[in-house]
Structure 1
Amino acid sequence: MPPGWRYKSLKFGPITLPWYASPEAQLILVSFVCFLCPGMFNALNGLGGAGQIEKNAYASNTSNCALYATFAVVGFFAGTVTNTMGIRFALSFGGLGYCIYVSSFLCFKYTQNLGYVIFSGLLLGCCAGILWCAQGAIMMSYPEEKLKGRYISWFWVIFNLGAVIGGVITLGLNINQKTKQNSSVNTATYVGFLILTSMGAALSWTLVDAKHVVRRDGTKIILMKHPTWRSEIRGLWETLRNDSYIVLLFPMFFSSNWFYTYQFNDVNGPNFNVRTRALNNILYWLAQMFGALAFGFALDFPNIRRTIRAKAAWLAMLILTFAVWGGGYVFQRGFTREVSGPIYDWTDKGYIGPMFLYILYGFYDAAWQTCVYWFMGAITNNSRKLANFAGFYKGIQSSGAAISWRLDGFQNGSKSSFMGLFASCWILLAASLVIALPVMILKIKDTVPVEEDLKFTDETFDNIILYKRDDRNRG
C-alpha cells in the first residue's frame, strides 16, 4: 500500500443484521460448534480410553493414533482448504467426523469392532484438521488487535464448557458406580454425546461468510477476492518462505497435545473409579475455563505494551511448567504400569492431592493454548496467513499427539513407562519454550501495520477500498 493510504470497508450488502455479522456473534457461534463437537470428544477421551477402560484403552489409543496421524497431514494443508472452500463448509464437514467417532465407540461397546473404531479415527483426522483451521482463522483474524487475547479466552471458555457439560452428563449417568474397578461408561453416555455432536455439525451452517463480517471500528476482514487452489497452495509456500521464523514455534505446536495421552490414560484412567474419573474430567475442563480467562485478559492488558506482555507470558509459562510438572513428578513416583497405586473414589482420604494436581493440569493446558494462539495472532492480522498458521499449528500438534498415543497404545509387547511418558511431556514443554523465545523478542511488535499484512494478499480485495487520508471526507 502506498504511504499515506489506509483502508475502508465496504457496506454490508445483503446482510441486514449488523450485530449478527459482528466478530463477537460469529465467535460465539463457532465456539458453540466446538462446544458440541470437540467439546464432547474431549469429555469422552478425558475419561480414559474413551470410556472403554476395561479394554485396556487399546481401542481408543489405536483410533486416536490414526486420528492424529491423519490430522497431522490434513492440518498442515487445512489453511488452503479453508481459504478455498469457506468457513461454513469447513466447520460442517468437521462436525460430521465427531458424530461418527462417538458412534464407533457405542458400536465397540457391544461388538468390539476395532475396524470401525480405527476408520472413525482416520475420518475424524480429516474432519478435525479442517474444523480447527477454520476455527483458528476466525479466532485470530476477526478481532481487533487490542481484543485478541479476550477473544481467545471467550472461545476457550465456551469450548471447554462443552467438555464440562459432557463430564456432568457422564457423572450423572454413572454416579452410582462406586466399584473400585476400572469399568466402562454406560450406553446412555454415548447416545447423549452422539446427539450433541450432531447438533454441532448442524449449527455451523448458521455462520455468515467472512466477507460480511464487520468489526466495531468499521473495518472488515482482509480476504482474497477469488481464492483458488493454486493461489492458496502458493500462499502456503509463501508463508513458509517469507515467515520462516514460524518454525521456531513448531516445537510449541508439537508439544501442545502431547501430554493429553499421559493425563487422560495414565493419570485419570488407572488411578480412579468411573464416577471419580468423571468428576476429575469436570474439574479439569473447568480449570481450563479459568486458565483461559486469566491469561486471555492478561494478554490484552491495555496499560502495558504488547511486546512486554509477550515476554511476560513466556516467563509465566516457564514458571508454570516447572511448578505444575514438578508436582506431577511427586505424584508419578507413587505408581508404575507394573505396580499400580490405589484406585481412588472421591470419598477416599487421599483423593484431595491428586484432584488438585489434575485441576492444575487443566489450568496449564488452557494457559499454553491461549498463549500459542495469541503469539500467532500478534504476528499478523491477515486472515489468509493466519489460516495457514492455524493449519501448521493443528497439523504439527497432531503429529505429536499421534506419536504420544502410539507410545501408550501397544496392545502386546512393551509400552512406554508412565515415568517415561511423564518425563517426555516435561522436557518437550520446557525445551519448546526456550526455542520459541526469539519470536517473543524479535517478531512480536506493539502493532502490525496494514501495509505489512497486505503484502501477503493479492492486489484486489473483496472487502477493501483504498483512499488517501486527505480525501476521506469525499468517500
Structure 2
Amino acid sequence: MSGAQAEIEKLDSSSKDPASQHVEVFDRPTGWRKYYYHPIAQVSMLGLVCFMCPGMFVALTGLGGGGQVNGSIQANASAILYSTFAFFGSINNVLGPRRTLMLGTWGYSLYIASFLAISIHPGAGASAFVVVAGAILGICAALLWTAQGSLMMAYPTEAQKGMFICISWAILSLGGVVGSAVAFGTNFKIQQRNGTYVCFLILTLIGVFLPLLMANPDKMIRTDGTRVAQVRHPSWKAEFFSLYVALKTDPWIILLFPIFFASNYFYTWQYNDYNGAIFTIRARGLNNIMSWTAQIFGSIFIGCFVLDQKRVRRRVRAFYGWILVFLMIFVVHVWAFFYQKTYTRTEEAVRNADRIDIMDDTYAAHVWVMIFYGFLDSMWQTYAYWLMGAMSNDPAKLAVFTGFYKSVQSAGAAGVWRADAVGIPYMNIFLSTWCLMVAGMVFSAPMVYLRVTEHTYVEDEGL
C-alpha cells in the first residue's frame, strides 16, 4: 500500500512540472496511409486549397482595381469584404475543418464571378453585385483562413513550424504566380479581361471540392509520434468565450496586434496605388508574377533557413527573424519613396493612357519595387505565423490566435481600402503603411523577448 502511495505521489509531483510530463507516442500509419496521413502531405493539400482560391483572389487584386479601369469599385468591395472578415474572423472552425474550408472556398468563386458580370454588363447593378459578393467573401474567407492557420501551425513539430508555414505560403504564392501568368497571357496583345476572369473562376471552383480529399485532423500523428490534439467543436457561445479566455491566459498576443493590423494594410498601396496606378494591364500581370515568385523565395528563406535553423536556439532565431524583417521594411520603403514622389493620384487620373509598359525603358527599374515588396510580404506573414506557433501547439488555441490575426488584419485592410476608395493621396497611404509596419515590429519586440521560449510547455497547450 505504501509503495502504491509513493508511486501516486511521484506521478503527482511530476505532473506539476510541465517539462517532465509524459507525452504519449503513437505508431505512424504504414503502407499508402503513411504518405496520405503524413503532415507534409496534408499541409501541402491545405496549401493547394489556398492555391486555387486565395491564390486566384490575390492575383485578381494584384491587377490593380481587379483588372478594371476604375479601381474604386474594387476598393469599395475590398473595404466591405475586410469589414465582414474582421467581424467573423474570430470564429473558430466549429463546423469541422473540412466543412469550414469548403464553405470558405465558394465565396472566392462568387467574388470572381461578380467581376466577370461587371465586365460583361457594366452598370450600377453589376457594381452592387461586386460589393455584395465582397461582403459574402469576407464571411467565407474568415472561415477558410481560421481553419487553415490552426491546422498549418498544429501539424508540425516545434522544430518544423517554420518549414510548414513556408510550404503553405509558398504554395499559396505559387497560386498567385499562376493566376498572374494567366492574366499576363490573356492580356499580352490585347486586353481580354473576360478570359482572365473565366480562368480564375474555373480554378476556384476546383478548389471548392479539394477539402473533401483531406484527412480528418483527429487522425493525424506528427512525425515525432505525437498525436495532433483533437480539434474541439464547441457551441458558438463557447467559441466567443474562448476569445476572452485566450486573452486572459495569454495576454502577450495583444503585442502582436499591430503586426496583425499591418499585415494586409500594405497591399492597398502595393497593388492599387503603385501597380494599378502607373502600369498597363499586361505590365501589372508581369509585375504580379515577379512579386509572387519573390514571395515563394522570401518565405522559404526566413521559414526554413532562419526560423527553423536547428543549430541555433529558438529564442535566438526569433530575434534573427525580427532583425531581418525590420531591416527589410526600411530597404523596401526608402526605395519605394523615391518612386512615389514622382506621381500623385490627380496626375495619374489625367494621364491615364500614359502608363508604364513592359517595353518601356523605365519598366525594369520600377518592377524591382514589386519584387522586393513581395519578398518583404512573405517574410512578414511567415514570421507572424511562426510567433503564434511558438505560443502553443494546440489546434483549438491556435485557431483562436489565427482568428485574432485575421480579424485585426482585416480591420486594417478595410480601413485602408476605404481610404483608397475615397481618394486619399497616394503619399499619405504610403507613409501610413511604412509607419504601421515599423510600429508593428517595435510593439512585438517585448513579446519576442519575454514570451518566446525554447520549448512550448504543456501549460501553454490549451485554453
TM-score scaled by length of structure 2:
0.91
Counterpart-to-counterpart distance in 1, 2:459 and 2:130:
48
- 2:31 counterpart of 1:21: no
Counterpart-to-counterpart distance in 2, 1:269 and 1:43:
12
Match of 1:405 among 408, 417, 425: 417
Instruction: Identify which range, 340-349 or 195-204, moves more after superposition.
Output: 340-349
Counterpart for residue 314 of structure 2: 306
Question: CA-to-partner distance for each residue in 1:264-291, whole Å, 9 max, x for gaps?
Answer: 1110112111111110010010011110
Distance 1:328 1:302, change over 3 A: same
Match of 1:43 among 56, 59, 64: 59
Shift of 1:126: 0.2
- 2:130 counterpart of 1:117: yes
Shift of 1:111: 2.0
- 2:98 counterpart of 1:88: yes
- 2:181 counterpart of 1:168: yes
- 2:68 counterpart of 1:60: no
- 2:301 counterpart of 1:288: no
The SS at the match of 2:211 is helix
Are the equivalent residues in 2 in contact too, given 1:15–1:212 (CA < 8 A)?
Answer: no
Please list every run of at least 4 consecutive aligned residues from structure 1 whose deviation after the TM superposition is greater than 6 angstroms.
11-16
Counterpart for residue 441 of structure 1: 449
Counterpart for residue 368 of structure 1: 380
Counterpart for residue 354 of structure 1: 366
Counterpart for residue 158 of structure 1: 171
Counterpart for residue 102 of structure 1: 112
Shift of 1:382: 1.4
The SS at the match of 2:328 is helix
Shift of 1:451: 4.0
Distance 1:406 1:211, change over 3 A: same
Are the equivalent residues in 1 in contact too, given 2:104–2:143 (CA < 8 A)?
Answer: yes
Shift of 1:165: 0.5
Match of 2:333 among 325, 338, 343: 325
Distance 1:16 1:281, change over 3 A: closer
Shift of 1:67: 0.3
Counterpart for residue 5 of structure 2: none
Question: CA-to-partner distance for each residue in 1:279-315, whole Å, 9 max, x for gaps?
Answer: 0010010011110010111110011111011111111
Counterpart for residue 215 of structure 1: 222
Question: CA-to-partner distance for each residue in 1:223-250, whole Å, 9 max, x for gaps?
Answer: 3666444443332221011111111100
Counterpart for residue 263 of structure 1: 270
Counterpart for residue 212 of structure 2: 205
Counterpart-to-counterpart distance in 1, 2:121 and 2:152:
40
Match of 1:137 among 150, 154, 165: 150
Match of 2:139 among 113, 121, 126: 126
Instruction: Identify which range, 217-226 or 259-268, moves more after superposition.
Output: 217-226
Shift of 1:2: 4.7
Matches within 5 A, 1:180-199: 185-199=192-206
Distance 1:376 1:418, change over 3 A: same
Unaligned runs of 5+ residues in structure 1 are 178-183, 457-475
Counterpart-to-counterpart distance in 2, 1:229 and 1:206:
27
Matches within 5 A, 1:223-302: 223=230, 227-297=234-304, 298-302=306-310
Shift of 1:7: 2.5
Shift of 1:119: 1.0
Distance 1:225 1:425, change over 3 A: closer
Counterpart-to-counterpart distance in 1, 2:35 and 2:456:
26
Are the equivalent residues in 1 in contact too, given 2:59–2:176 (CA < 8 A)?
Answer: yes
Unaligned runs of 5+ residues in structure 2 are 1-14
Amino acid at match of 2:449: I
Counterpart-to-counterpart distance in 2, 1:283 and 1:268:
12
Matches within 5 A, 1:382-397: 382-397=394-409
Instruction: Identify which range, 64-73 or 107-116, moves more after superposition.
Output: 107-116
The SS at the match of 2:35 is coil
- 2:82 counterpart of 1:72: no
Counterpart-to-counterpart distance in 2, 1:224 and 1:265:
39
The SS at the match of 1:124 is helix
Distance 1:226 1:317, change over 3 A: closer
The SS at the match of 2:366 is helix
Are the equivalent residues in 2 in contact too, given 1:18–1:214 (CA < 8 A)?
Answer: no
Are the equivalent residues in 2 in contact too, given 1:185–1:274 (CA < 8 A)?
Answer: no
Counterpart-to-counterpart distance in 1, 2:460 and 2:382:
24
Amino acid at match of 1:388: V
Are the equivalent residues in 1 in contact too, given 2:183–2:285 (CA < 8 A)?
Answer: yes
Distance 1:265 1:215, change over 3 A: same
- Residues matched between the structures, number: 439
Counterpart-to-counterpart distance in 2, 1:226 and 1:435:
33
Distance 1:236 1:9, change over 3 A: farther
Counterpart for residue 181 of structure 1: none
- 2:161 counterpart of 1:148: yes
Counterpart-to-counterpart distance in 2, 1:404 and 1:442:
32
Counterpart-to-counterpart distance in 2, 1:424 and 1:280:
23
Counterpart-to-counterpart distance in 1, 2:425 and 2:233:
52
Distance 1:395 1:452, change over 3 A: closer
Counterpart-to-counterpart distance in 2, 1:19 and 1:194:
31
Question: CA-to-partner distance for each residue in 1:165-220, whole Å, 9 max, x for gaps?
Answer: 0111111111103xxxxxx6421111110000000011011111111011111111
The SS at the match of 2:362 is helix
Are the equivalent residues in 2 in contact too, given 1:67–1:402 (CA < 8 A)?
Answer: yes
Amino acid at match of 2:199: G
Counterpart for residue 473 of structure 1: none
The SS at the match of 1:375 is helix
Instruction: Identify which range, 444-453 or 162-171, moves more after superposition.
Output: 444-453
Amino acid at match of 2:74: S
Are the equivalent residues in 2 in contact too, given 1:12–1:212 (CA < 8 A)?
Answer: no
Counterpart-to-counterpart distance in 2, 1:105 and 1:154:
30
Shift of 1:16: 7.5
Amino acid at match of 2:73: A
Counterpart-to-counterpart distance in 2, 1:66 and 1:233:
22
Amino acid at match of 1:19: Y
The SS at the match of 1:198 is helix
Shift of 1:10: 5.6
Counterpart for residue 378 of structure 1: 390
Match of 1:32 among 44, 48, 51: 48
